Chains A and B, each alone.
Chain A
Amino acid sequence: MKRRIKERIFSFGYLLPSLAGVTVFFIAPFIQIIRYALVDNPVSNNFVGFENFIRVFNNNAFRRAAANTARFSAIAVPLAVALSLLLAMMLEAKIPGKSKFRTFFLSPMMVPVASIVLIWQVLFDYNGALNSVLASLGISPVDWMKSDYSHVIVVLLFLWKNLGYNMILFMAALSNIPKALIEAANVDGASAFRRFWQIKFRFLSPTLLFVTILSLINSFKVFREIYLLTGNYPHENLYLLQHFMNNTFGNIDYQKLSAAALIMALVMAIIIGILFLAEGRIGRDVEQ
């Protein structure tokens, strides 16, 4: 018994550096944020309940940012999941040069954001390549980044950047599906459609869940590219939560920031929770 306790203490020792850092830089300040979000200001410390949250909700900039972010994620995430699964299945179909293709699809990971942005400007600027092509076809040019299409452009950028990573995850999951099951289904005369939905889909469901969560998180990161493309105040369609946060940092309004961060954390937790429940239902029977 004594040995076991000693072992415990030792093993916590290995965790200590990391745990201390995570506590100082993430957990403690997160608790602090909860406090900030509930008081009027850090000095007088009067409890104000949900006032800060209401203030954030009533803020027009926040609502626009939240709506834009939600809309962007709602379009980009399903596309990212579906297309990367498609790519993975195409590569799994034993096409020639599989590993080369894999490298190509991963290559966007190594390109620095800023030079992507340069290229995107060349392609989608008012005077860019796309408009040049359209002009030669007799279609009048559009200022893509400043139009309602700006969303689409950024979605393309997002897909370009993230499909490769997701694809690798799906490829690993596909190769883990027991071959015997697929063969058994083949022998039983199941159609390709059935084989996919009844067998592959179920085995893929944990990865599907993970890729969805990952894409969701990455969809929040697309601010990076938008910021470099359009600066602090982009086209109103592209004003995302990160812009709101960034501009609020400038004003050092801790209460507003804290409340906004908490709202985001809560929404993330809820979405992830729902996805987990859904996955639990679909993948229940195939997990070890």
Chain B
Amino acid sequence: MTRTRSERRARGSRRRHNVRIALATLWCGVFAVVFLLPTVLTFANSFMTETEITANYGAVFEKNEKGGKKFIAEQVNLKLIPDKVTFSQYATTLFKSPDYLFKFWNSVILVLPIVVFQVGIAAFAAYSFMRTRGRVKELLLFVYIFVMLMPYQVTLVPNYMVADKLGILGTRWSIILPGVFAPFSVFILTKAMRRIPKSLIEAARLDGCGEWGIFSKICLPMSKGAIFSVAILVFIDYWNMVEQVLIMMPDADAQPLSVFLSQINTGEIGLAFAVATIYMVPAILLFLYGEEYLVEGITYSGGLKG
């Protein structure tokens, strides 16, 4: 009982601190469960047999077929572990219905060029925005930011009209070209490159580099992290595209899987889960191997001022 008051107060505040941490952890846990649930459900359901799926969700999807709206007392079960793990849905996707693979391929040939060329062209533009900062440049950068901030609803109209004029409406180009020139990467890479200390550029000039040398030997390698980051963000964005496709390319044959996924027959829900899981694979891989870059990219995207 010889504890001094200040000691007691220190212990009290430490205890309060521990309680706070515990509460924060608990809340984060709750959020985490909610956040993960849809992903885990998709994954788990993809290993269920069609029968099990029907048993679990039949109530939801079958009535859609009949067009009925009556509430069925039948239970919907959210099951995280399949009764019997099966790969039959995957087998169907991969071997029996080439349609899905074909749409997957559609996604790839739409998204890859967009990612590669948007980031590539942006790297050049960002270098230019970094090297000289006249009044014209700053104005142009402002225009880029303005275009970037405009919602789809605004930019899709001009994109549609240009596609119409160029006669590429309905083809892949009507999606790829506006994607390639979207200013998002330019904005982020400009911010990244403007963080390169000026003295490094000057050192490179003294060392004998011309503009191309400074760009390719100094700025590009130094922005490697930002380039990866922005590529991941652009990939995720376009991998899930829907609106552009609906407006520019209503023809189902060339549509990417992101759109087609929603058109899978309600009778094949299990299949839909399997296809969705397959579709998630590239994104999951990016998460596993590039999460740091992803986080860095998001961080780079914050704030509008260089």
A29 to B258, CA, bound (A): 28
B258:A111 contact, CB within 8 angstroms: no
Write out the residue numbers on chain B whose beta carbons fall within 8 Å of the beta carbon of A242: 152-153, 243
A224 at the binding interface (Cβ < 8 Å):
yes
Write out the residue numbers on chain B whose beta carbons fall within 8 Å of the beta carbon of A257: 157
A125 to B38, CA, bound (A): 15
Residue of B nearest to A232 (CB): B246
A110:B153 contact, CB within 8 angstroms: no
Given the interface contacts A112-B279, A172-B299, does A220 sit within 8 Å of B152 by beta carbon? yes
A126 at the binding interface (Cβ < 8 Å):
yes
Write out the residue numbers on chain A whose beta carbons fall within 8 Å of the beta carbon of B259: 114
Sort chain B's interface into a size bin: 35 or more
A35 to B59, CA, bound (A): 52
B31 at the binding interface (Cβ < 8 Å):
yes
A18:B152 contact, CB within 8 angstroms: no
Write out the residue numbers on chain A whose beta carbons fall within 8 Å of the beta carbon of B71: 126-127, 131, 135, 141
A67 at the binding interface (Cβ < 8 Å):
no
Q: How many residues of A contact B (CB 8 A)?
A: 99
What's the nearest-Cβ distance from chain A to residue B5, in Å?
17
Q: Which of B81-89, B90-98, B108-116, B124-132 contacts A (4 or more CB under 8 A)?
A: B124-132
B155 at the binding interface (Cβ < 8 Å):
yes
A152 at the binding interface (Cβ < 8 Å):
no
B39:A108 contact, CB within 8 angstroms: yes
B121 at the binding interface (Cβ < 8 Å):
yes
What's the nearest-Cβ distance from chain A to residue B16, in Å?
11
What's the nearest-Cβ distance from chain A to residue B46, in Å?
9
Among residues 7 to 63 in chain B, which have CB atoms less than 8 Å away from a CB atom of chain A?
20-21, 24-25, 27-28, 31-32, 34-39, 41-42, 57, 59-61, 63
B42:A26 contact, CB within 8 angstroms: no
B57:A104 contact, CB within 8 angstroms: no
B36:A25 contact, CB within 8 angstroms: no
CB-defined interface of A131-150 with B at 8 Å, one 1/0 digit per residue?
Answer: 11001000001010000000
Write out the residue numbers on chain A whose beta carbons fall within 8 Å of the beta carbon of B155: 26
Q: Which of A7-15, A50-58, A194-202 contacts B (4 or more CB under 8 A)?
A: A7-15
Taking Cβ atoms with an 8 Å cutoff, the residues of A that contact B are: 7-8, 10-15, 17-19, 21-22, 24-30, 32-33, 87, 90-91, 93-97, 101-122, 125-129, 131-132, 135, 141, 143, 160, 163-165, 168-169, 172-173, 206-207, 209-211, 213-214, 217, 220-221, 223-224, 227-228, 241-242, 245-246, 249, 254, 257-258, 260-261, 264-265, 268-269, 272
Query: Considering the complex of A and B, which 4 residue pairs feature the smallest CB-CB distances, nearest first?
Result: A29-B158, A21-B181, A115-B276, A114-B261
Some 13 contacts from A to B, beta carbons below 8 A apart, are: A7-B131, A15-B124, A28-B158, A94-B21, A105-B35, A106-B294, A111-B42, A119-B41, A122-B57, A141-B71, A228-B262, A246-B246, A261-B153
Taking Cβ atoms with an 8 Å cutoff, the residues of B that contact A are: 20-21, 24-25, 27-28, 31-32, 34-39, 41-42, 57, 59-61, 63, 69, 71-78, 121-122, 124-125, 127-129, 131-132, 134, 140, 143-144, 146-147, 149-162, 177-178, 180-181, 183, 186, 211, 215, 236, 239-240, 242-243, 246-247, 257-259, 261-262, 269, 272-273, 276-277, 279-280, 283-284, 286-287, 291, 294-295, 298-299, 301-305
Identify 14 new A-B residue pairs, CB closer than 8 A, beyond the known A132-B76, A264-B154: A21-B181, A93-B21, A111-B39, A111-B42, A111-B280, A113-B261, A114-B272, A115-B42, A122-B60, A207-B302, A210-B302, A221-B151, A227-B246, A269-B146
